[in-house]
Amino acid sequence: MRILLTSLVFLLVYCAEAQTDQRIYNIIEEVSADRIEIDITTLANFGTRHTLSDTLSSTRGIGAARRWIKKGFEEISKNCNNCLEVSFQTDLVKKGENQRIGNDVLVVNVVAVQRGSKYPNRYIIMSGDIDSRVSDPNDFTSDSPGANDNASGMAGALEAARVLSKYQFESSIVYLGLSGEEQGLFGGQGFAKYAKEMGWDIIGVFNNDMIGNISGVDGIISNTDFRIFSEPVPPTETEKERNSRRFYGGEVDGISRQLARYVHRNVETYMPEMNPIMIYRLDRFGRGGHHRPFNDAGYAGIRIMEAHENYTQQHQDIRVEGGIAYGDVLEHVNFGYAKKLTAVNAINMASLAWAPPAPKEVGIGGVVAPSVRLQWSPVEGAIGYKIYWRDTTSPTWDHSRYVGDVTKFTLEGIVIDNFFFGVSAVGENNFESVVVFPNKIMR
Ligand SMILES: [Zn+2]
């Protein structure tokens, strides 16, 4: 009896542990707040990184900043047997494109690709921004440290590269520094277009924009809350798809939303101390970010950022006014928090890059029936599949069932009308693809 109990306990412990992968915990540990602090400090010390600022100086302006970032990725690459392909990606934006482009300007992004061993053309992207601004968006000479907006996101991408370059992945991971954000999302637009032309299969963009402030203008201080913004459905959907949603659902189940749910779930599993908040919108009210151009191009993309913003420390001339110290300066950045959000990116990129692709086609049926039928296209490299479902009012996939290596399954006793459903592919070590919402109706 005793032996039986012991082995039962062992089995339970073993099964519980088999759900997680120790390497993901290691990745969280390996992200360094000190290195992030060093990089944010260096970026802030370029004086200004305004998109139209000086490009010739080696100490001030966006030219110096982007060359330093490129060198940073090259150093990291040296330490991993040249595992990163580092380059500039450039677009000319013409004077007058909008009111914030006062001169012709080369918008230059820095790209570092860690090539996947099995799916080299399948990409997961982590982006931060190189550029900064003060009160007047056209002021390209005043000091604009942009320590939080967005040296924090840029430093996070560099640090994620440092940590993940020690591992090998099946899919490619891209660490991306984008420019022209504050002038109208030009860097993201240019890069999304480039990726489209190159035929990249981008399965997710994690846009990091402001990941270092823990003290909100609302008085709330939290180093565990953070937000995941995602649009409900892609802007590229067809009229037919839009019509079909009225009858079969999917109003809040687009590809970016599934990516957001993936991050939320993975964080709850591996970083239970964090409080990820799903925000059901593309971005903040009336404001923008660099995931949007990727969404516009039909790619899944989300914004990861602090939960409590402080507007006196964004897009502000450095000054004291009415007793308030304005400006996006180093002193307001919490490096320990930036480390946590960098880890959020790193573990999700690693999980996706170790997972098989998602099923392309997922069919669903069960009209006027006491059960739900699901069927999906097989995925090479998957060892099995997982069916997810949730109440129609729930933001997250709350129920799941691993169904093994089959391509169809009937959930008995579950009425299709009362839940939403999806399917993911499961690979070695339990790494899973993003959940796919049904895209085919079975009669
Ligand atoms: Zn900004």
Q: How far apart are CA 52 and CA 55, in angstroms?
A: 8
Give me ligand 1 centre to Cα 48, in Å.
13
State yes or no: pLDDT of 85 exceeds 50. Answer: yes
Rounded Cα gap, residues 152 and 306, in angstroms: 11
What is the distance in A from the centroid of ligand 1 to the CA of 314?
A: 7
Distance from Cα 287 to the centre of ligand 1, integer Å: 9
Give me ligand 1 centre to Cα 368, in Å.
51
pLDDT digits (tens, 9 = 90+) for 374-414: 999 999 999 999 999 999 999 999 999 999 999 999 999 99
Ligand 1: centre distance to CA 210 (Å): 8
The encoded tokens of residue 170 equal 């099946």
Higher per-residue confidence, 431 vs 13: 431
Given a cut of 60, whether residue 299 has pLDDT beyond it is: yes
Confidence at residue 57, expressed as pLDDT on a 0 to 100 scale: 98
Instruction: State mean pLDDT over 362-383.
Output: 96
CA of 145 to the centre of ligand 1 (A): 12
pLDDT of residue 443: 87
Q: Which domains does the chain have, with CATH numbers?
A: 22-354 (3.40.630.10), 362-441 (2.60.40.10)
Per-residue pLDDT band for 13 (boundaries 50, 70, 90) equals very low
With 80 as the cut, is the pLDDT of residue 215 above it? yes
Residue 299 CB contacts under 8 Å (≥ 6 apart), including other chains:
192, 195, 202, 204, 205, 255
- Taking the centre of ligand 1 as the mean of its atom positions, its distance from the CA of residue 212, in whole angstroms, is 13
Distance from the CA of 355 to the center of ligand 1, in angstroms? 33
Q: How close is the Cα of 256 to the center of ligand 1, in Å?
A: 22
- Give distance in angstroms: CA of 119 to centre of ligand 1: 34
* Predicted pLDDT at 2: 53
Mean pLDDT of the chain: 95
What pLDDT, on the 0 to 100 scale, is given for residue 4?
A: 53
Distance 192 CA to ligand 1 centre (A): 19
Give pLDDT tens digits for 48-83: 999 999 999 999 999 999 999 999 999 999 999 999
Inform me whether the pLDDT recorded for 14 exceeds 70. Answer: no
CA of 182 to the centre of ligand 1 (A): 6
Q: Is the pLDDT of residue 5 over 70?
A: no
Q: Is the pLDDT of residue 190 over 60?
A: yes
pLDDT in tens, 107-165: 999 999 999 999 999 999 999 999 999 999 999 999 999 999 999 999 999 999 999 99
User: What separation in Å is there between the alpha carbon of 129 and the centre of ligand 1?
Assistant: 9
Mean pLDDT of 81-104: 97
Q: What is the whole-number distance in angstroms between the Cα of residue 132 and the centre of ligand 1? A: 7
Residue 16 pLDDT > 50, yes or no? no
Distance 267 CA to ligand 1 centre (A): 26
pLDDT of residue 17: 45
204 CA distance to ligand 1 centroid (A)? 22
CA 31 to ligand 1 centroid distance, Å:
25
Tell me the percentage of the chain whose pLDDT exceeds 90.
Answer: 95
pTM above 0.85, yes or no: yes
- The pLDDT, as a whole number, for residue 18 is 52
The confidence score (pLDDT) of residue 226 equals 98
Residue 190 alpha carbon to ligand 1 centre in Å: 18
Please give the distance, rounded to the nearest whole angstrom, from the Cα atom of residue 443 to the centre of ligand 1. 49
Mean pLDDT throughout 320-332?
Answer: 96
| Alpha-carbon separation of residue 32 from 38, 60, 339, 368 (angstroms) | 10, 26, 6, 55
Quote the ligand 1 centre to 149 CA distance (angstroms). Answer: 5
